A and B are shown apart, each in its own frame.
Chain A
Amino acid sequence: MKPNPKELIAPSRLEAPATCRRSGLSAFRSSCQVLGLAALAILSAGLLCAQVPWGYWPPPAGPAPTTPMAQRSAQTTVQSQVTWFQNSTQTASNYGDGGYGIVWQQFQALQGAFNAFKGTLTQRQLSAGANELAELDAGLGILEEAFTNYQQDVADGQSSTSAFNNMCQVLRQASGVWLQEFNSDCSRLQVGWQ
């Protein structure tokens, strides 16, 4: 059975229904609305651009953005990482020999988060907070010493359980002190402020 030729005609060539026919005006209105939306998009982009120096999405590869939002996000990551690190010092003893590795891994993650945080600071903040940032860096170095001390204590004959518990307690408390300093420095350096 041959198909009806009328059925082969593209829909666009079909007779328009009454609603479309009377809408020469409607088509004009639609295109005006599209133009209006485009204008709004440009305005919105202009607004965003004023607050986000790196421009439009996606941000370019290379140096991290130094916007207040990026700073707040990096600050929160450091704070959360300290909490996770502290949690790991509390639970690591349940993992037997693997506990040391877990705590060490969390510590390295904290170092990474802090380095990323520093990457979000403006030149002005880096310069004004050079001493504070050097102290925070040194603080992480002191925390790292606790891992060496643990190994030394075990080599000196202290039981590994006792040495590990000591290390974890020192790390937990000292990282709390470090976090206090970090928070107070962030506030002083106006991290994440508009």
Chain B
Amino acid sequence: MTPGVLEVCDAIRSGKLSAAESVAEAFRQLKRVEPALQATSQLLEETALARAAEIDRQLGRGEEVGRLAGVPFTAKDNICTREGTTTAGSRILENYRAPYDATVVERLQKEGAICVAKTNMDEFGMGSSTENSGTVGPTKNPWKTTHVPGGSSGGAAALAASTRGMLHLGSDTGGSIRQPAAYCGATGLKPTYGRVSRYGLLAFASSLDQIGVLQASALECACALSVIAGNDPMDSTSADEPTRDYANEVEHGVEGLKIGVPHEYFPEGIDPEVSERAREGIETFRKLGVEIHEVSLPHTPYANPTYVLISAAEASSNLARYDGVHYGYRASAPRGVIDLYSRSRVEGFGPEVKRRIMVGNFVLSAGYYDAFYNKACKVRQLIRQDFDKVFREVDAVICPTSPVTAFPIGERIDDPLKLYAVDALTVPANLASVPGVSFPCGFTRDKLPVGLQIYGRLFEDGKMLRLAHAFQKATSHHLTPPPVRGF
């Protein structure tokens, strides 16, 4: 069996595998799948091999190396790395070289992990299919290359499914880790808001964004979380809550835990196969000794509109800095400063980004703030209260990740609202700031993966992963390799 992250890690620490070999293997796999999947925006071979050589030297001298020494990782292209470029999938940051590393990148590198690639994404995180990539073009789903991998962390999800032995950093604002994980048969973790530092994550919607990981298993997610989680003085929204040994925690049993099934998450119009696989998954938990409760999250139907509004408003402000003055794309021969701004932005941004910026500016503009943004924030409170109430009764909430499975490329891209609809079951986690994890619970007759999702209490990321891990010990959906793979 192809070694996963933990095996690679152990092999390097025990001297059975060198960092150079581990990195070389990573590039082998990445290059093998790239023509079919177009999952990366950049391969960082030179710097990765140099770092690997240094780690091997340290290992040779018997020096202390980090917990993840020699383990390769990819970073979604909206996460700043000094190495290579950071474009957020946008033409407006085409050649942008960040003068600093994101805190999560620093933490991984401090533990000896090596960045091998930046992954493709929907521009600035806006999209659910990675068709909105302004730099590379669409990423394909390794289960069916005519279909989308989901988004916006489409590149990371495709790689999590089609490669082994590396970590994949993604980001999740309304489901951008969990939904592509579901579509690609991977396990995607969005931690509690504030669990992981956002410093160095190109902001989309500041009160919703979180960095997370997409991996082959919940256990790998837990290992990664232990390293990247923790308070960061550079991010005022990162929590003081101490980190835990998540890899250890997930091994504790799940018998006696209580899971709630919210009926609002099996809405009308949900793909019946998604619904069936999800219910089968819930049955599996029952067999594991988990108590299943029927619960209600009554404000669920309002979650998606609330999300669309709040994220657009915050994005319109966060993306104002992309103006052709201090970095990024500048339109040619500007006729004045206003022309410089307006043409650089209209030429540099893709259509979905421009739409959202305008919606955002509209809802924040004078006279509309109360009716729109302020109102949305109040509704968000109602959604939070729904979760507070339910979490007094159960330890976690379980539901399908998306109402549909991976859809064909081009099917939804011309109808933004149709695209927003696939996020309906993931956005509540971001609104309520709770952690969420998606993992495969089966396949459709078309052999497309179906994702099951668990929401945990604030800062109970460990308990939530415990449930996913227990599920994965009892099933093998997450082990099924996709048709397109590098291993």
Answer whether A and B are interacting partners: no
